[in-house]
A and B are shown apart, each in its own frame.
Chain A
């Protein structure tokens, strides 16, 4: 068969060379069931259900309210995007509801519908026809088509207005009207062409006017001689060519018909317009004709009622929204109907789940067939690789391979075998002697592949977002850094006269102090490591120990802070005439300090993360501490940079933070300027040592409190369990709880005492207290927030001047906030307090 047609291409009467596509089947037509009766008007249902997603693209948006009285042809829902179509009232009545209703969708899910109670009057709204459409601007005609809700009546329901609106750059060679109607049973287009050929031709002329094709071809299968004759007569003298194509399923597939009529192939994944072809359906042409002559929107269509269960099969002009159940009653299907109920044809139609589902714009056929006509599918048998499927595939795929790979979920391979080019025509499953539901396997694989692609895309988007965010943070950091640099530069210039005096004064041995500080820091570090190890050994319930570790690390950072201050103070002294050996030391020590501080920060972050993962109570605290350490490390870095910059010059580097209240530690290194200062320095030194001791003790107490508190909590839980379950050892538990509670309370009380002492000490030495500092920091932060919000508002309003002002103000506020925050942190850290100790 195929060999013969390969050597002898078919030609039409007009001499047009027809092409063949691979495969295809010849299922029993069964068209005469419905093709011989004239088109009847359909029933007027009491209730019409109008899904908002009848077309391909975005669902329409309802523009009526429940209870509204509407007239026939009035708009119910508007198109909601470039690819969308409005929905109109098919009859006059009252909007009863806008709610999800069962519709005919393969998903079986309900969809939002406008439910219209018919008033039986069927009263039209005012219509405006446009028979002079040729004189209208093109855009206006396209808008009229769009507003009429016309969507492809053949299969997918693609909005017609989008399809006719071809780009100027696209030269359309062929306008193809698909009147093939290749599926068995369906005769809607056949009857339409037999009875209303003039109207169809007039509609095709509307399409011609819009698309301006070089030729217009109407493809009709040779099993519809009456329709061909009627169309030929109507098309005489119009230049529209009626082409008879050999009957073969699925020659009505868009891609197949294009190949048959033109020999062109639509590229995989491409559109017909890419090869200069536009395809429309016969029913669509008729709807366009109605629009231009009467102004009617798309509110009805011709639907074939067929299958032997219908007492009166035939074609019916049915209002869109009519429930299938009403059509079954109209066509005399005995109730209850058993067997198959299909919307669409027997090859590609969908089983109707619920007969209350309405007829939609794409419903060309309703088949009610008893089991004797379309029996139950037979059990699936093994594939015998007979290859019958490959022989009939119109896309020239290897359905057998697609089946193996789809079944095995090897989607990559299925795609390699061009699964996505499958048009789901069902020819393969039709011929399969083993009754394998091949199309079902392909649908499954396609769905899975689409889902994978969607997830992939989602992941890509998330990654892009993350990268953009990281880049933004980096940028902001760099900007802040630049600002800070500028500020430091300004400060340094301001303070240089004072430092030149300071540089001339003799200095104590800074190297010894630094060494001591570094030694302390490293011993603290060792302690932290030891504790961390212990925590690791203890496993999961080490949150309290991790807290202790973080405390230790903080303590070390504090020591480093002292070292930093020493270095900063001594750097200029060292380069003073007396000591030439010193200059290298502060920088080197600072470097070391920076390294250690950042590693301390990293360790703290790690501890905090672990605590978070374990859901420990103090995770937030740990995190806050890590942040503090980070700030500390940053300060050290800046100091290091300053030290590097100033080391060769006899200038004193500016302090890292121009704190309003100079921390007392500074006095240790800056003190020995005179004999009295020497004595002061000794006092200061002993006070400092005391403070350090107190800080250590506070840390130990905190650890003790945390541990006992945790144990108390656990013991309480154990006690509760014991009480609930009535265990004998309730008393033991209770005693333990009491003991631990006491222990925790004691630690807390001692800790509080120390905290109070530290606070008092701080107030005495700095003239300010923690609360004031905190208040300052909070105020500065809220100013930043206010300015940020104001800036955003200004940006939205596009007020350039205000944006500039606000940007400057925001920068100033940010700087202020940064400084207060740093001061606060310093003050807190120097007293060995943490943020939480204020309460």
Chain B
């Protein structure tokens, strides 16, 4: 008899890492659709291009490391990194910007640390911050919502052959608010700030990512801890200041539906590899990201702050885990430290 000799448990759930990652990519589709509707085909081109680079980079490094390429590629983690980074890059980005960003994310931030599961930092955010610091002009060249260029223009921009690229760009709501904060009339006059409840256009981007995030929650791909704590940290931090001075400080709603808030809460901070792992740890981790985002947006030098906040809290995750171990059944109190 050809019997299997394996230890228990003999039954396993149908969850697969590859399938989980695919679900995450699926959940970004609403956000991608809204971005395309607002800013043209640039983001779609970026996403496809980034996925190609990520798969190639991952395969190359895996081969160099002597790992089974097929098995590891099937976990789809590199593609998720590529999609997330491509969604964060402006739609006007030339091909080489994405290449550098995704290449560093996969090779430097992920594989050099030992591949999936071993990276201390969120690879997509490492790539994003690297680009933001190295190529600030290209990385802030967002378009005015609604003035979406056609496919040909987007393609020219992608190939870096469009002469008047700078002419197309417009400030994001967060940018504008930073510029005019404290000046009530200017704020009222700025068209991009005149959305239904947050920045024009960008509010719908965030709504779309929120929808995707809720889908992930519904499919139990992520737990509620990180998004809820993230948004609560950001919103509750913004609330008292907005009440104190609504001209200088943006409303909680504006914060929650601007920039990469929803994207960060459901897709970036929830990256399990670089997040804290215990239940309380995740709550603290995400809440602190939210607080840090508000601090950098309102008091710092950058208009948006998801990437910086996430990377800083990635650093703190092991320490947070250190102090937030659960109380094991049969023990009086939780343990601390690592023994």
- Across the interface, do A439 and B8 meet the contact criterion of CB distance under 8 Å? yes
- Across the interface, do B326 and A22 meet the contact criterion of CB distance under 8 Å? yes
Nearest residue in B to A413 (C-beta to C-beta)?
B339
CA of A335 to CA of B2, assembled, Å: 11
A344 contacts across to B, CB distance below 8 A:
8
Q: Is A672 an interface residue (CB 8 A)?
A: no
Interface residues on chain B, number (Cβ under 8 Å): 45
A21 contacts across to B, CB distance below 8 A:
329
Q: Is A15 an interface residue (CB 8 A)?
A: no
Given A340-B10, A346-B9: A382 in contact with B117 (beta carbons within 8 A): yes
Q: Mark A410-450, 1 if CB is under 8 A from B, else 0.
A: 00110111100100101101111111010110010000000
Q: Is A461 an interface residue (CB 8 A)?
A: no
Q: Is A630 an interface residue (CB 8 A)?
A: no
Q: Mark B1-41, 1 if CB is under 8 A from A, else 0.
A: 11111111111110111011000000000000000000000
With beta carbons under 8 angstroms apart, the residue of A346, A355, A391 that contacts B11 is: A346
Nearest residue in B to A412 (C-beta to C-beta)?
B339
Nearest residue in A to B7 (C-beta to C-beta)?
A440
Closest CB-CB distance, B19 to chain A, in whole Å?
Answer: 8
A394 contacts across to B, CB distance below 8 A:
329
Given A385-B117, A385-B277, A417-B325: A391 in contact with B330 (beta carbons within 8 A): no
CA of A114 to CA of B2, assembled, Å: 28
Nearest residue in B to A437 (C-beta to C-beta)?
B7
- Across the interface, do B16 and A433 meet the contact criterion of CB distance under 8 Å? yes
Q: Is B75 an interface residue (CB 8 A)?
A: yes
Stretch of A147-155, A263-271, A527-535, A571-579 on the interface side: A263-271
Given A384-B17, A418-B328: A376 in contact with B9 (beta carbons within 8 A): no
Nearest residue in B to A421 (C-beta to C-beta)?
B328
Nearest residue in A to B10 (C-beta to C-beta)?
A346
CA of A342 to CA of B2, assembled, Å: 13
With beta carbons under 8 angstroms apart, the residue of A28, A268, A349, A397 that contacts B8 is: A349
Q: Is A660 an interface residue (CB 8 A)?
A: no
- Across the interface, do A351 and B7 meet the contact criterion of CB distance under 8 Å? yes
Q: Is A386 an interface residue (CB 8 A)?
A: yes
Q: Is B338 an interface residue (CB 8 A)?
A: yes
- Across the interface, do A396 and B2 meet the contact criterion of CB distance under 8 Å? no
- Across the interface, do B330 and A266 meet the contact criterion of CB distance under 8 Å? yes
Closest CB-CB distance, A279 to chain B, in whole Å?
Answer: 15
CA of A631 to CA of B27, assembled, Å: 91
CA of A385 to CA of B75, assembled, Å: 14
- Across the interface, do B272 and A387 meet the contact criterion of CB distance under 8 Å? yes
Q: Is A62 an interface residue (CB 8 A)?
A: no
Given A22-B329, A396-B326, A431-B15: A338 in contact with B3 (beta carbons within 8 A): yes
Q: Is A379 an interface residue (CB 8 A)?
A: yes
Closest CB-CB distance, B328 to chain A, in whole Å?
Answer: 4
B17 contacts across to A, CB distance below 8 A:
381, 384, 433-434
CA of A344 to CA of B8, assembled, Å: 10
Sort chain A's interface into a size bin: 35 or more
A417 contacts across to B, CB distance below 8 A:
325, 335, 338-339
- Across the interface, do B12 and A387 meet the contact criterion of CB distance under 8 Å? no
A379 contacts across to B, CB distance below 8 A:
71
With beta carbons under 8 angstroms apart, the residue of A259, A336, A371, A440 that contacts B1 is: A336
- Across the interface, do B277 and A396 meet the contact criterion of CB distance under 8 Å? no
Q: Is B279 an interface residue (CB 8 A)?
A: yes
Q: Is B331 an interface residue (CB 8 A)?
A: yes
- Across the interface, do B328 and A426 meet the contact criterion of CB distance under 8 Å? no
A761 contacts across to B, CB distance below 8 A:
none
Nearest residue in A to B15 (C-beta to C-beta)?
A433
B71 contacts across to A, CB distance below 8 A:
379, 381
Q: Is B223 an interface residue (CB 8 A)?
A: yes
Q: Is B116 an interface residue (CB 8 A)?
A: yes
Contact residues of A between 314 and 350, Cβ < 8 Å to B: 335-342, 344, 346-350
Contact residues of A between 257 and 310, Cβ < 8 Å to B: 259, 265-270
CA of A674 to CA of B299, assembled, Å: 118
B275 contacts across to A, CB distance below 8 A:
385
Q: Is A388 an interface residue (CB 8 A)?
A: yes
Q: Is B337 an interface residue (CB 8 A)?
A: yes
Q: Is A353 an interface residue (CB 8 A)?
A: yes
Q: Is B115 an interface residue (CB 8 A)?
A: yes
CA of A453 to CA of B327, assembled, Å: 25
Q: Mark A338-382, 1 if CB is under 8 A from B, else 0.
A: 111110101111111101000000000001010100101111011
A709 contacts across to B, CB distance below 8 A:
none
B118 contacts across to A, CB distance below 8 A:
382
Q: Is B273 an interface residue (CB 8 A)?
A: yes
Nearest residue in B to A341 (C-beta to C-beta)?
B3
CA of A10 to CA of B1, assembled, Å: 47
- Across the interface, do B12 and A377 meet the contact criterion of CB distance under 8 Å? yes
CA of A397 to CA of B331, assembled, Å: 11
Q: Is B77 an interface residue (CB 8 A)?
A: yes
B20 contacts across to A, CB distance below 8 A:
386, 433
Q: Is B278 an interface residue (CB 8 A)?
A: yes
CA of A382 to CA of B73, assembled, Å: 12
Closest CB-CB distance, A420 to chain B, in whole Å?
Answer: 10
With beta carbons under 8 angstroms apart, the residue of A347, A350, A371, A400 that contacts B277 is: A400
CA of A340 to CA of B325, assembled, Å: 37
Contact residues of B between 281 and 339, Cβ < 8 Å to A: 282, 325-331, 335, 337-339
B326 contacts across to A, CB distance below 8 A:
22, 390, 396-398
Nearest residue in B to A338 (C-beta to C-beta)?
B2
B8 contacts across to A, CB distance below 8 A:
344, 346-350, 424, 426, 439
Those 6 A-B pairs whose CB atoms lie nearest each other, nearest first: A416-B339, A426-B9, A268-B330, A382-B117, A346-B11, A433-B15
Q: Which residues of A contact B (CB under 8 A)?
A: 21-22, 25, 27-28, 106, 184, 255-256, 259, 265-270, 335-342, 344, 346-353, 355, 367, 369, 371, 374, 376-379, 381-388, 390-391, 394-398, 400-401, 412-413, 415-418, 421, 424, 426-427, 429-435, 437, 439-440, 443
30 contacts between A and B (CB under 8 A): A22-B329, A27-B11, A27-B13, A106-B7, A266-B330, A267-B331, A335-B1, A338-B1, A339-B2, A340-B4, A344-B8, A347-B8, A349-B8, A349-B10, A351-B5, A377-B12, A381-B17, A381-B116, A383-B117, A385-B117, A387-B278, A390-B277, A394-B329, A395-B329, A396-B326, A415-B339, A418-B331, A426-B9, A430-B11, A433-B20
Q: Give 9 new A-B contacts, CB below 8 A, not counting A267-B331, A268-B328, A382-B118.
A: A106-B7, A270-B330, A339-B3, A374-B10, A378-B12, A385-B275, A387-B223, A387-B272, A437-B6
